[in-house]
Amino acid sequence: MKHRTLALPLSVLTLAALTGCGSLSIGGSDERDTVTVWLMQNSASKGFLEKFEKEYEAENGDVDLDITIQEWTGVGKKVTEALADEDADAPDVIEVGNTQVAQYVDQGGLLDLSLESMRDLGMEDWLPGLAEPGSVKGAQYGIPWYAANRVVLYNKDLFKAAGIDKLPRDQEEWLALTERLNTGSQQGIYLAGQDWYTLAGFIWEEGGELAVDKDGIWSGSLDTPQALAGMDFYGRLQALGQGPKDADEQTPPQTDVFAKGKVAQIVTVPGSAKLIEEANPKLAGKIGYFPIPGKKAGRAGAVFTGGSDLVIPENTDQEWAAKDVIKALAGARWQKELATTMDYVPNKTTLASAVDANPGAAAMTEGAARGRATPTSPRWAAVEADNPIKQYMTEVLSGGDAKQAARLASQQITEALDVRHE
């Protein structure tokens, strides 16, 4: 596979799929077009990329793909520079994190793909957690590529020992089941006090928001009754284990805690099972998965969706060819291939059956249908830099006044999202 080596020290992005709508005609001359694609490290396997490149070029004889693998570290600066670059070597297609699209739109330089996404890509079935952050002020700039979200990983042996043979259908059943598992030295669940992505899902499940946009002005909204109800549920669940109140899920790594065999459940992505089994091979084959339960019986709860969108810089000199590459990557054929190869969630709810044979990915796909992303403010990164949501969670879990702590955190979010602070 042809990979162009970049001299720049920082990095960027990803790739995937084609369905029943035919490819666009990309020119009638004998000259071959080169489409430069920036994809992120580990977003797709080498084997997938080699297969995609070989078959795409065979089906589109006048196109060469130049796929360059980038790293996530420092990606923001590098993409920003690429969007402002008029050089012929600038990329034509870029993989970006789904929550980054609004920031790049605000900086300028992304191509509006609304017509293509509505006409040819079946956007009515896109996962909301990828499609919504890719849309800014009614225009679609990011085309969903792949998704991943949290599920509940559980220890099958501990469930069996507790006589639990049915998985919870809703939040109240989840609490009751977890309480049964929380005995002696055994934790019903390990949930760190500052796992704010998990909290976000509980808030959305109640109908609340982290922040709201009114006429272009963003403000924090953790102090609404719905958001407070989400925090209350988090507190009830977190109390059924021994997770720290003042640290996140990486301090210590919750996979290491689960690997000791005394924790019945954690909330994480399915891929964490591999880390657990590496730490404790005795747990191999003893880890199960189920979607995070929602308030309504039989319906998965709302979750934070991570993943990637594909974008095209306005300065591309291969606009139509770049659009055709995205149509391939975002279409059913390559979406199914990517999902089964990488244990991802495909970009459409109608493609969910592609991962039915994989229990972890199947559980993840159920949740993804109700997935969300962080607020689409271009300044959301400023919130995460000194995250007041984490501080708010610790205050509440430590016995502080929830309403007062929520008002303070909401005020801090509002200040961070204020464009006048730039």
> Is the per-residue pLDDT at 21 higher than 60?
no
Residue scoring higher pLDDT (33 or 409)? 409
> Is the per-residue pLDDT at 150 higher than 80?
yes
394: exposed, middle or buried (C-beta count within 10 Å: 0-12, 13-18, 19+)? middle
pLDDT value of position 86: 76
Percent of the chain with pLDDT over 70: 91
Report the alpha-carbon distance of residue 362 to residue 345 in Å, rounded. Answer: 8
> Is the per-residue pLDDT at 9 higher than 80?
no
Q: Provide the strand spans (E) within 302-381.
A: 303-311, 371-372
Beta bridge mates, 93: 37
pLDDT value of position 85: 82
User: What is the band of 386 on the pLDDT scale with cuts at 50, 70, 90?
Assistant: very high
Report the alpha-carbon distance of residue 411 to residue 272 in Å, rounded. Answer: 35
> Is the per-residue pLDDT at 149 higher than 50?
yes
pLDDT value of position 172: 98
Which string of DSSP letters, residue by residue, matches 183-238? -TT-BS----TT-HHHHHHHHHHTT--SEEEETTEEEE-TTSHHHHHHHHHHHHHH
> Is the per-residue pLDDT at 26 higher than 70?
no
Residues 6+ apart with CB under 8 A from 341: 44, 45, 47, 48
pLDDT value of position 422: 52
Residue scoring higher pLDDT (86 or 34)? 34
> Is the per-residue pLDDT at 89 higher than 90?
no
For residues 21-35, give the mean pLDDT. Answer: 54
Cβ pair 395, 234 in contact under 8 A: no
pLDDT value of position 122: 81
> Is the per-residue pLDDT at 5 higher than 70?
no
pLDDT value of position 88: 61
For residues 202-216, give the mean pLDDT. Answer: 96
Unique residue bearing structure tokens 């489409």: 35
Q: Which amino acid is at 193?
A: G
pLDDT value of position 398: 98
Report the alpha-carbon distance of residue 181 to residue 411 in Å, rounded. Answer: 38
> Is the per-residue pLDDT at 27 higher than 80?
no
Percent of the chain with pLDDT over 90: 85
Domains and CATH numbers, the chain: 33-148+304-372 (3.40.190.10), 151-303+376-421 (3.40.190.10)
Unique residue bearing structure tokens 């149509």: 327
For residues 288-316, give the mean pLDDT. Answer: 97
Unique residue bearing structure tokens 């220890």: 155
Q: Which amino acid is at 383?
A: V
Q: Provide the whole-model pTM.
A: 0.88
pLDDT value of position 117: 78
Query: Which tens digit of pLDDT belongs to each residue from 231-250?
Result: 999 999 999 999 999 999 99
